[in-house]
Amino acid sequence: MSDDDSDQSRSGNWLRQIGKGLAGPPRDRDELVEVLKEAQENELLDVDALWMMQGVLRVSELQVRDIMIPRSQMVIIESDADASKILPIAIESGHSRFPVIGESRDEVVGILLAKDMLALAEPEHDRNDFVFEDLLRPAVYVPESKRVNVLLKEFKASRNHMAVVVDEYGGVAGLVTIEDALEQIVGEIDDEYDQFEGANILRQESNRFQVHALTPIDEFNRYFGCEFSDDEFDTVGGLVVHEFAHMPKRGESTTIERFQFNVQRADSRRIHLLQMTVLPDAAE
C-alpha cells in the first residue's frame, strides 16, 4: 500500500469514527461544531486542532471590519517626511509595512516596506539622496464588508500581506494584514516585538504603555502605584473584560480609575494585548 493510500485509509477511519452514533450528517454549522467537540472529547482531535477547525468555520462569517486595525491606531508615515523622521517611526513601532499618506489619512499614496529603508541606516549612506517615491509599493484596497476567508484567498493569490480597508464612502477605515486573518484560525501569532523582550509592560511615551493582558495585577499595581484587587481576577486582562461586561473586540476602550485601556489584540476567547494611557490629570 502506498503512502497516499495509507493516508486516505487513516482519514477514512477517522471520519467513520467521528460519524459513529450519528443519525446522519450534520445539518448545520452548529451541529458540525458539536460533532467536532465530541471528537475532541473522544481524543480523536487535540484541543489545538479543534480550535483551528472552529477558526476555519469562523472566518467565513467574519468581515474585514471585525479584524482590522482601526484608522485611529494605524502607524502611518507622511509623504513629505524626511529620512530622519521615518527611521524612528519604523524602529519604535516594530512593523514591517507602513501606509504612506498625503494630506490626510484618507489619501494613501502607497506602502513603504521597512526592509526598503535598511540602506538609510548605513552611516555612509547620503540621506539627501533619499527619494521617497522610488521606494513605495502600490496600496491594495478592500471594502470593510469583505469576508475574511475571501480576503485570505486574495492575499495568497496576490502575495500581498497588507490591505487598506475602505468604508462605503471610500474613506479609509483601517488596515488589515495577513497576520490578522490567520490569527482567526491559529490564534495569536507572537513575534519578537510582541514579546517585549520578556517584559509585560512596555513604555511607549511618558503616559502611554503597552500591557500584556496576562500581566499579573500585583505586578501592574507595583509598576503604577495603584491598588487594584486581585481577589476576583489574577490578570489585567481579566479586570478589563469584567469592566467591559463582554468579550471586547480590537479598538474598544474602557476607563478604570485613572487608566484608559484600549484593546490592541483579542480573539473570541480572550484579550491578548492592551494599550494603556494614564489620564492627563493623573499622570506624573
pTM: 0.56
Can you give the pLDDT at residue 5?
52
Query: Could you give the angle at the alpha carbon of 40 between the alpha carbons of 25 and 22, nearest 5°?
Result: 25
C-alpha cell at 194: 510582541
Share in percent of the chain as helix, strand, coil (round to 5): 40, 25, 35
Asked if 79 and 165 sit in the same domain, the reply is yes
Residues 138-147 as b/e (b if ≥16 CB within 10 A, e otherwise) read ebbebebebe
Q: Within a domain: residue 150?
A: yes
Let me know whether 104 and 177 are in one domain. yes
Coil, helix or strand at residue 96: coil
With respect to residue 84, please indicate whether it lies within any of the assigned structural domains: yes
Answer yes or no: is 53 within a domain.
no
CATH number of the domain where residue 214 is located? 3.30.465.10
Q: 3-state SS string over 200-215?
A: CEEEEECCEEEEECCC
Q: pLDDT by residue (tens digit) across 215-243?
A: 999 999 999 989 998 888 889 999 999 99
What's the domain range around 69? 65-186
Residue 59 lies in a domain: no
Q: Please tell me the predicted confidence (pLDDT) of residue 217.
A: 92
Which residues of the chain fall below pLDDT 50?
7-12, 192-198, 282-284
Give the pLDDT score at 201.
Answer: 87
- Whether residue 103 is found in the same domain as residue 167: yes
